[in-house]
Amino acid sequence: MSWALSNASMLGHLTGQNAYLALVPVLIGLLISLPLGIVSARWGWLYPPVLTVTSVLYALPALALFVVLIDYTGLTDTTVMIPLVIYSLAVLFPSVVDGLRSVPEPVRQAAVAMGFGTWRRLATVELPIATPIVIAGLRIACVSSISLVSVGQLIGTGGLGYLFIDGEQRDFPTEIVVGIVLIVALALVTDTVLVLARRWLTPWQRGAAATATTRRATVRAELRVRPGPGGI
Amino acid sequence: MITFDSVTKRYPGGTVAVDELYLEVPAGQTMVLVGPSGCGKTTSLRMINRMIDPSGGRILLDGKDIQQSNPAMLRRGIGYVIQQAGLFPHRTIEDNIATVPLLTGWSKPKARERARELMDLVGLDAQMARRYPHQLSGGQQQRVGVARALAADPPVLLMDEPFSAVDPIVRASLQDELLRLQGELHKTVVLVTHDIEEAIKVGDQVAIFRPGGKLVQVDTPQRLLAAPIDDYVEDFLGFDRGIRRLSFLAADALDLETDTVVRADTQAAAALAKAREAGAQWILVIDSERLPQGWIATGSLESMPGDATLAGAGLKRYGHTFRADTDSLRAALDATVLSPTGQAVGVDEAGRVVGVTSYDRLRAAIQRADESDQPRQSDQPRQSGQPGQETVLSS
C-alpha cells in the first residue's frame, strides 16, 4: 500500500495510458462497425462473410500481429492499438447487426408508412432502438480491451502491463498485485460509465423496461464473450 | 376518393398477389378488404401508400396517380395503423402520436399539444402522455396507433388488421371506437381484416377477395348478407347470415300489435273479448303509465270473474323488451325468441309499450324490408371499371 502511495504519480500515468490504449481502439472499432453493421443489416447476405472475416481476425495472435506491424509502425502506440481495433471489431460488428435486427418489423414498417426517409429512419428510429444491444457489445469490448493492453508491454507500451514485467523482474509481487487491482478498477469504472450512458440514452428501458426481444438479444450479445483473442 | 384502375401485382417468381383490381373507395367511407390469407388484401392496401408498387394499372388518389408522388410525402398525408400498433418503443406516447406533425416541421410544443388533443379523442388518459409504449396494454397501444395515424389530420386512413392482436372484448370496444370516430371525422378508411364479422360491423362497404388476388364482390354489408354473388362469398359469410342480416334492418319496419295490450284496470270480461276478437292466446297487461306488467293467457281470463280487474291476476313475466324505434329487427327477433309467449314487447325511449311482436309480424316486416331494399340494386349497378359508382367488380 505504501509502495502504491509513494508511486501514485507513476501509477496514475500508467492507468491513464492503459485507458487511452484500450478505449481509443474500441472507439475506432465502433466507428468501423456502425457503417459495416448498417450495410450488413440492410443487405443480409453480406453478414455471414463479413462476420467470418471479423471472427478469423479475432483468432490472430497479438504477438504475431506485433511482429508484422513493427515493420510498418515501429514500437509505437499504434502497433499496440491496431490489434485491439481488430478485436473490438469482432465483438462490436455483430452487436450492431443484432441491435438493428432487434427493431421489430411492425415498428420498421410503421416508420416507413409514416413517411420517414431511409436516413432519418436509421438515425431516429433504428439506431436508438439498437442502442442497448450496441452498448452491451461495447461493455465487453471495453473490458477485454483494457485487460489486453498489458500484452503491449511485449513491445514496451503496455500501460499497467509495465507493472507485471517490472514486478516479475524485481521479484516484487506487490507491484503485480497493484497492477491487477488497477486494471480491474479501470474496467469497473469504464463499465459503470457505459451502464450509466445506457440508462441516460435509453430512458424507455428504465425500471421493468427491457422488452422481451431486446432482453434476449442483449443476453445473446453478452454470451458472445469468447475465450481471449489470438490465443491470449 | 381512392381508385384502383386495373391494378395488378405480380412478383418476379410469377406469383400474382393482386389480379386486375378495379375498386373505388368513396371519400368519407369505410371500405373493408376481407379474405383469407394470400388473397391480396394487404398487398392492395400497401399499394395505396406505395409501400408496394403495382406491376400494372394505376391507383388514383382524388384523381391523381400516386406513382407521380414522392413516396415519403405521399405517406405523410395518409394515416397508417398497423397490426400490433408498431409504436416506437423509444418514444413516449405523446411523441409517438406527434411523429408525423414533427416530420412535417411542426414545432415541438404545437405537436405535443396536438398529441394531447388526439389522446382525448381516442379515449386515452392524459396521464399516459409521458409513458412509454411497453407500459400500456395492447388495447391502449392500439388506440395510440390510431391517434398517431390521425395526428396530421390526413384525409385517408389505412388500417392493416388493426385489431387482430387484441382479445375479443378489447377488439369489440376498439371497433366501436372506430365507428364513433368515423362518425365524427369522416375519413376515407381502407381497413384490411380476415374477420368477416369485423368487416360487416365496421364497413360501409365490404370487398371480398379470394386467393389469387381476385376481388369477388363489393357491396354494403347488408347487401352482401342478403345477396352473396356466389358460393364462395356465401361460404365466406358463414353460418346464419340470414339472421345476421336482420341487424341492418330497422325494427320500425314492424307493424306492432296493439289490440292485445290492455291496462291493468280493465275488467277480465272486456280483456277476454279483446283477445277473442284478435284471436290471441296472450294479453299484455300495462299500467297507467303504459309500462309493461306481464302476460296473461286467455285461458286464465276465462276462469276469472268477469268483473274482476287484471291488477290482481297472476302475470307471466314479460322478458326482454326492444326499442321499437331504434333497435334492429335482429333485436326484435331475439326478444321474441326469448319471450315465454313467443311475442316480444316493443317499447319507446321511456320504456312505455308501443306494441307487441309475433312471428307473423316479424316475417311480414322482413319481407317489407327486403322489398324496399330491392330497388336500391339499380342504384348500384355492378359493372367493371366505371368510375363514379360505388360498387365495382373485377372480372
Q: Each residue of A86-142: pLDDT tens digit?
A: 999 999 999 999 999 999 999 999 999 999 989 999 999 999 999 999 999 999 999
Q: Is the pLDDT of residue B377 over 60?
A: no
In this prediction, residues B91-98 reach a mean pLDDT of: 94
* Cβ atoms of residues B375 and B350 within 8 Å: no
> What confidence category does residue A218 fall into, taking pLDDT thresholds of 50, 70 and 90?
low
pLDDT at B375: 42
C-alpha to C-alpha distance for B384 and B395, rounded to whole angstroms:
7
Is A204 in contact with B134 (Cβ distance < 8 A)? yes
The label of the residue with cell 502497433 reads: A79
Answer whether A212 touches B (CB < 8 Å).
no
Answer whether A202 touches B (CB < 8 Å).
yes
pLDDT at B305: 85
Q: Is the pLDDT of residue B81 over 50?
A: yes
pLDDT at B306: 80
Is A114 in contact with B75 (Cβ distance < 8 A)? yes
Q: Is the pLDDT of residue B368 over 70?
A: yes
Which chain A residues have a beta carbon less than 8 Å from that of B90? 125, 128-129, 202, 204
Q: What are phi and psi of A114, to 5 degrees?
A: -80, -15
> What confidence category does residue B391 fall into, taking pLDDT thresholds of 50, 70 and 90?
very low
Q: Is the pLDDT of residue A214 over 60?
A: no
pLDDT at B395: 38
> What confidence category does residue A209 fall into, taking pLDDT thresholds of 50, 70 and 90?
very low
Residue B208's DSSP bridge partners are B34, B217
Of B177-181, B252-256, B364-368, which one has max mean pLDDT? B177-181
Facing A115 at nearest CB: one of B72, B83, B158: B72
If you measure CA to CA, which chain B residue comes closest to A201?
B90
**For B5-38, how does the pLDDT look when each residue is reduced to its tens digit (9 = 90+)?**
999 999 998 899 999 999 999 999 999 999 998 8
Q: Is the pLDDT of residue B383 over 70?
A: no
**For B121-175, how does the pLDDT look when each residue is reduced to its tens digit (9 = 90+)?**
998 999 999 999 999 998 999 999 999 999 999 999 999 999 988 888 989 999 9
Is A115 in contact with B84 (Cβ distance < 8 A)? no
**For B249-266, how does the pLDDT look when each residue is reduced to its tens digit (9 = 90+)?**
888 889 998 888 989 888
In this prediction, residues A15-38 reach a mean pLDDT of: 94
pLDDT at A65: 87
**For B271-294, how does the pLDDT look when each residue is reduced to its tens digit (9 = 90+)?**
888 888 888 889 999 998 999 999
In this prediction, residues A31-45 reach a mean pLDDT of: 94
* Cβ atoms of residues A183 and A148 within 8 Å: no
Which of A75-79, B304-308, B382-386 has the weakest average pLDDT? B382-386
Q: What are phi and psi of A107, to 5 degrees?
A: -65, -45
Closest approach of chain A CAs to the CA of B379, in angstroms?
A: 36
At B172, list the grid cell.
369489440
Q: Which of A86, A69, A74, A94 is nearest to A224 (CA)?
A: A94
> What confidence category does residue B373 fall into, taking pLDDT thresholds of 50, 70 and 90?
low
Which chain B residues have a beta carbon less than 8 Å from that of A106? 82-86
In this prediction, residues A216-231 reach a mean pLDDT of: 56
pLDDT at A5: 86
More confident residue, B374 or B74: B74
Q: Is the pLDDT of residue B80 over 90?
A: yes
If you measure CA to CA, which chain B residue comes closest to A113?
B75
At B144, list the grid cell.
395510440
Query: What is the three-state SS of chain B?
Result: CEEEEEEEEECCCCCEEEEEEEEEECCCCEEEEECCCCCCHHHHHHHHCCCCCCCEEEEEECCEEHHHCCHHHHHHCEEEEECCCCCCCCCCHHHHHCHHHHHCCCCHHHHHHHHHHHHHHCCCCHHHHHCCHHHCCHHHHHHHHHHHHHCCCCCEEEEECCCCCCCHHHHHHHHHHHHHHHHHHCCEEEEEECCHHHHHHHCCEEEEEECCCEEEEEECHHHHHHCCCCHHHHHHHCCCHHHHHHHHCEHHHCCCECCCEEECCCEHHHHHHHHHHHCCCEEEEECCCCCEEEEEEHHHHHCCCCCCEHHHCCCECCCCEEECCCCEHHHHHHHHHHCCCCCCEEECCCCCEEEECCHHHHHHHHHHHHHHHCCHHHHCCCECCCCCCCCECCC
C-alpha to C-alpha distance for B175 and B185, rounded to whole angstroms:
15
Report ipTM for this prediction. 0.80
Which chain B residues have a beta carbon less than 8 Å from that of A209? 132, 134
Pairing of strands B188-193, B30-34: parallel
Between vectors from CA B221 to CA B217 and to CA B222, what angle results, nearest 5°? 115
Is A107 in contact with B74 (Cβ distance < 8 A)? no
Whole-prediction pTM value?
0.78
Answer whether A199 touches B (CB < 8 Å).
no
Which chain A residues have a beta carbon less than 8 Å from that of B71? 115
Q: Is the pLDDT of residue B384 over 50?
A: no
Determine whether A115 is exposed, middle or buried from the number of CB atoms within 10 Å of its CB (0-12, 13-18, 19+). Answer: buried
Task: Kindly report the average pLDDT of chain B as a whole number.
Answer: 88
pLDDT at A156: 82
**For A147-158, how does the pLDDT look when each residue is reduced to its tens digit (9 = 90+)?**
888 888 888 888
Answer whether B105 touches A (CB < 8 Å).
no
pLDDT at A159: 87
**For B216-230, how does the pLDDT look when each residue is reduced to its tens digit (9 = 90+)?**
999 999 889 888 999
The helix-helix angle for A77-101 and A8-42 (nearest 10°) equals: 40
Which chain A residues have a beta carbon less than 8 Å from that of B87? 107, 110
In the sheet where B2-10 sits, what is the strand order?
A: B16-25, B2-10, B56-61, B64-65
pLDDT at A221: 56
Query: For chain B, how far is it from start to end, CA to CA, in angstroms?
Result: 22
pLDDT at B84: 83
Is A115 in contact with B158 (Cβ distance < 8 A)? no
Which chain A residues have a beta carbon less than 8 Å from that of B132? 203-204, 209
Check the CA dihedral A175-A179-A182-A188 and report its sign.
negative
Facing A117 at nearest CB: one of B72, B87, B91: B72
Is B73 in contact with A114 (Cβ distance < 8 A)? no
pLDDT at B114: 94
